[in-house]
Amino acid sequence: MLEKALVGSQRYWGWIIFLLAVIGVGFACWIYQLNYGLGITGMSRDISWGVYIAQFTYFVGVAAGAVMLVIPKYLHHYQKYANIVIFGEFLAIAAVVMCLLFIIVDIGQPQRMLNVLFYPTPNSILFWDMIVLNGYLAINIIVGWNSLLAERKHVPPPAWIKPFIYLSIPWAISIHTVTAFLYAGLPGRHLWLTAIMAPRFLASAFAAGPSLLILLLLLVKKLTRFEPGEEAIQSVAKTVCYAQIANMFFLALEFFTAFYSNIPGHMSGLKYLFFGLDGYHELVPWMWTSITFGLFGILLLLIPPLRRNHTFLVVACASIFFSTWVDKGVGLVIGGFIPNPLEQVTEYHPTFPEIAIATAIWAIGALILTILYKVVVSVRQENA
């Protein structure tokens, strides 16, 4: 089936070549990083995780978001999702591959990565994260690919993939829960030491993943003759709306606990992000933009005539995608490191090679997604 990705319009090939060029630049920077060390990044003794781990965290959420289609389709037999659930599964594949790549580029000794397998250490959450992420990738490849194969042959999907589909539901929850546990179990990092880290992660995932999916589906609809179905789009949009409301509510809860308790450690991370600390306030405009966009997106999605208008829908989904990205892909990781354990502020500025490497991984994700979506659309067109 993959050969269908080799036939395409000029525009399709132009896009592929563009992505390959972006990947090439990032790859060159990565080679530079391998030679020099992670010193080419803006990370430091104080901010020891940066863009890479932040992007990793965000895209685990995007991957987990696919379950918002799988649950209605397979648990509630909501047939309106029959056409689009595979787009969700393939988005999950691209997102998980991105996550794994972000981990690889973040590791100081990537050639030793298999040590995690050679010396399995169950008390390290990273060990479990490796298991759940790779497992989720495998499940989505098995389910997505086999359902597409069946579709091409005009037969129902094989019965043996059913257990994998059901397994994918708790598994999707697990990837983001375990990723939240990477942060939530660390003493001395007050911003992260919160029991609602996992629920927050899931809420933002269920907003971010489906909002990106709506954008992608509308794009596919525009570029090809594929019709995702208006009712399906509207249902996903409602999911995004509710999830984002929960996400913003959870953020408010963090504020209450920190500021009502008045415990300095619990307030300092939030203070740095939203109000500035000790004269440092680089992220303040980012965080308020995130809140504004998040609330704005909710407003657009809550009003039915606006939600049904595709222009507003696109703006709403883009706003929420951006809002959650800033919250998790920028603020969360950096806010956990500022102030440092000695209550000092060291700010973090990603460098050009660092951003180029991260952008290349985005491009690899886009490339995987383009190829997989191209195959789906070609199969559908053939069958039509």
Partner 1 sequence: MSMDRREFIKIAGISALLGITGKGAFELLRPGDLDAFEGQEGGAGLRKEDLPKIRWGMTIDVKKCDGQVVQKVRGVCDYLHNIPHFNNKKDEVKWIWGDTYEHAFADGANEYIDDAIKELPFLLLCNHCDHPPCVRVCPTRATFKRPDGIVAMDYHRCIGCRFCMAACPFGSRSFNWRDPREGLKGRKLNPEFPTRMRGVVEKCNFCVERIDKGQIPACAEAAPEVMTFGNLADPNSNIRQVLRVRTSLRRKIELGTEPFVFYLV
Least gap, CB of 96 to partner 1 (angstroms): 18
Whether 332 contacts 194, CB under 8 Å:
no
Least gap, CB of 305 to partner 1 (angstroms): 46
User: In angstroms, rounded to a whole number, what is the distance separating the alpha carbons of residues 200 and 263?
Assistant: 21
Question: Cβ closer to partner 1: 24 or 37?
Answer: 37
Least gap, CB of 28 to partner 1 (angstroms): 19
Question: Cβ closer to partner 1: 270 or 369?
Answer: 270
DSSP 218-282: HHHHHHSS----HHHHHHHHHHHHHHHHHHHHHHHHHHHHHHHHT-HHHHHHHHHHHT-BTTB-T
Least gap, CB of 247 to partner 1 (angstroms): 23
Question: Given the rule CB under 8 A, which residues bind partner 1?
Answer: 36-39, 41-46, 48-49, 103, 106-110, 112-113, 115-116, 118-127, 130-131, 182-183, 185-189, 264-265, 336-337, 340-344, 346
Question: Cβ closer to partner 1: 292 or 344?
Answer: 344
Question: Cβ closer to partner 1: 73 or 189?
Answer: 189
Measured in whole angstroms, the distance separating CA 11 from the mean position of its chain's CA atoms is 27
Question: Cβ closer to partner 1: 336 or 365?
Answer: 336
User: In angstroms, rounded to a whole number, what is the distance separating the alpha carbons of residues 197 and 2?
Assistant: 39
Whether 320 contacts 247, CB under 8 Å:
no
Least gap, CB of 283 to partner 1 (angstroms): 18
Single-letter amino acid, residue 374 = K
User: In angstroms, rounded to a whole number, what is the distance separating the alpha carbons of residues 19 and 242?
Assistant: 34
Length of the chain measured in residues: 384
Question: Cβ closer to partner 1: 21 or 117?
Answer: 117
User: In angstroms, rounded to a whole number, what is the distance separating the alpha carbons of residues 277 and 191?
Assistant: 14
Least gap, CB of 205 to partner 1 (angstroms): 21
